[in-house]
């Protein structure tokens, strides 16, 4: 099975490096020139040299010939990218590698793939992993989800490496929501830590944030067990506790009242607004998500956000 990665940000580049150990792999980049000459993605993933089996190309027609295509463009760009290239991608196994909920529609990557490239086999690769860890070959475990188990199994076998271990599930909704929603909680946790609220506050936010994730997942028909796995609990743990996470760092900046580089990919920001809308329309209680959305659009300051959580009516856990 041939594999290509479309999108050469930190994660796409890291996956291409990791999978190059298994055989030839193509990485498509809009701006391939520098990477072709330097054999490194100096901008997004410095100090990780490309193996010989990795070919970087700006030619999408060439890259799209592979049987398995990993889609590593950011979440809010996914639909436009697929719509522009639907003919090239028709009939392929398309694996979303992005995490989030679409701002304009409230849906996740699997539904976007299904809508834009109807006869593709849609899947998602998600779970706790920093790009630099994967590129360096550090031990990592991820979830691969596809609606049909035979597709999930085929992808699990094709994309597992000696250091990257994939678990499979057919619960695509649970897998994509786990990865999407943990980023919103990471922003909340970063904010708490940045504002000096302490480790106990972070633990409370992680736990009650997880309860919100479970609530949204149940509403969307996911299996709660999926959220207890790598995509969900696993990714929540990583992203809410490490400055390696851009979403957590966005929160740190909010908590400290500092500026944050707007060009940084922080999927949790758009997802917070998307999920807040879905929750409001559905009557779901997601107060942490609402507080994060309020912090981001500046309708709440940190003090008001904390008060909005602490002053809620007392309830059973």
Ligand X SMILES: NC(=O)C1=CN([C@@H]2O[C@H](COP(=O)(O)OP(=O)(O)OC[C@H]3O[C@@H](n4cnc5c(N)ncnc54)[C@H](O)[C@@H]3O)[C@@H](O)[C@H]2O)C=CC1
Ligand Y SMILES: O=C(CO)COP(=O)(O)O
The footprint of ligand X (CB under 6 A) covers 7-12, 30, 44, 72-75, 77, 80-81, 97-100, 129-131, 265, 267
**Min dist. Cβ of residue 99 to ligand Y (A):** 6
DSSP state of 233: I
**Min dist. Cβ of residue 10 to ligand Y (A):** 8
Span between the terminal Cα atoms of the chain, in Å: 48
Contact 190, 255 (CB under 8 A): yes
Contact 254, 295 (CB under 8 A): yes
**Closer of 9 and 64 to ligand Y (Cβ):** 9
Among 246, 272, 276, 288, binds ligand Y (CB under 6 A): 246
235 is in an annotated binding site: yes
Contact 174, 227 (CB under 8 A): yes
**Distance, CA of 41 to CA of 129 (rounded, Å):** 18
Among all residues, whose Cβ is closest to ligand X? Answer: 9
Cβ neighbours of residue 189 under 8 Å, at least 6 residues apart?
A: 202, 205, 206, 209, 240, 241, 248, 251
247 is in an annotated binding site: yes
**Min dist. Cβ of residue 181 to ligand X (A):** 12
- Tell me: does residue 235 bind ligand Y (CB under 6 A): yes
Contact 49, 21 (CB under 8 A): no
Catalytic residue status for 182: yes
Q: List Cα–Cα distances, 112 to 101, 122, 147, 232, in angstroms.
A: 10, 9, 14, 21
Contact 249, 190 (CB under 8 A): yes
- Tell me: does residue 238 bind ligand Y (CB under 6 A): yes
**Min dist. Cβ of residue 5 to ligand X (A):** 10
**Pairing outcome for strands 40-41 and 45-49:** antiparallel
- Tell me: does residue 129 bind ligand Y (CB under 6 A): yes
Among 128, 178, 190, 251, binds ligand Y (CB under 6 A): 128
**Closer of 141 and 197 to ligand Y (Cβ):** 141
For ligand Y, what does the binding mask look like between residues 35 and 64, x meaning CB under 6 A?
------------------------------
246 burial level (CB within 10 Å; 0-12, 13-18, 19+): buried
For ligand Y, what does the binding mask look like between residues 177 and 196, x meaning CB under 6 A?
------x--x----------
- Tell me: does residue 245 bind ligand Y (CB under 6 A): yes
- Tell me: does residue 202 bind ligand Y (CB under 6 A): no
- Partner in contact with 239, chosen from ligand Y, ligand X, none, beta carbon below 5 to 8 Å by kind: ligand Y
Cβ neighbours of residue 313 under 8 Å, at least 6 residues apart?
A: none
Q: Among the options 182, 277, 298, 315, which is catalytic?
A: 182
How many other CB atoms are found less than 10 A from the CB of residue 199? 10
# of chain residues touching ligand Y (CB under 6 A): 13
Annotated binding site for NAD(+): 7-12, 131, 246
Contacting residues toward ligand Y, per CB under 6 A: 99, 128-130, 183, 186, 235, 238-239, 245-247, 267
Catalytic annotation, residues: 182
């Amino acid at each position: 099975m041939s594999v290509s990665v479309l999108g050469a940000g930190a994660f796409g580049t890291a996956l291409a490096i990791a999978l190059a150990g298994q055989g030839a792999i193509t990485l498509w980049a809009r701006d391939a020139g520098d990477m072709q000459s330097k054999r490194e993605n100096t901008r997004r993933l410095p100090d990780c040299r490309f193996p010989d089996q990795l070919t970087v190309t700006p030619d999408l027609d060439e890259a799209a010939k592979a049987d398995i295509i990993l889609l590593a463009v950011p979440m809010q760009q996914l639909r436009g990218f697929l719509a522009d290239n639907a003919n090239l991608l028709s009939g392929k196994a398309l694996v979303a590698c992005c995490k989030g909920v679409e701002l304009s529609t409230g849906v996740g990557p699997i539904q976007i793939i299904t809508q834009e490239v109807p006869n593709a086999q849609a899947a998602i690769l998600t779970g706790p992993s920093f790009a630099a860890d994967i590129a360096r070959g550090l031990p990592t475990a991820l979830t691969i989800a596809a609606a049909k188990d035979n597709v999930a199994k085929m992808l699990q076998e094709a994309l597992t490496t000696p250091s990257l271990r994939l678990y499979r599930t057919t619960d695509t909704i649970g897998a994509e929501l786990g990865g999407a929603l943990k980023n919103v909680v990471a922003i909340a946790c970063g904010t708490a830590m940045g504002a000096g609220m302490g480790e106990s506050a972070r633990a409370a936010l992680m736990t009650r944030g997880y309860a919100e994730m479970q609530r949204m997942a149940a509403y969307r028909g996911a299996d709660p067990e999926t959220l207890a796995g790598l995509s969900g609990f696993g990714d929540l743990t990583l992203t809410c506790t490490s400055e390696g996470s851009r979403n957590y760092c966005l929160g740190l900046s909010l908590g400290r009242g500092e500026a944050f580089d707007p060009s940084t990919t922080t999927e949790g920001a758009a997802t917070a607004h998307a999920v807040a809308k879905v929750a409001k329309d559905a009557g779901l209680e997601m107060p942490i998500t609402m507080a994060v959305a309020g912090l981001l659009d500046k309708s709440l300051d940190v003090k008001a956000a904390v008060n909005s959580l602490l002053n809620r009516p007392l309830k059973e856990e």
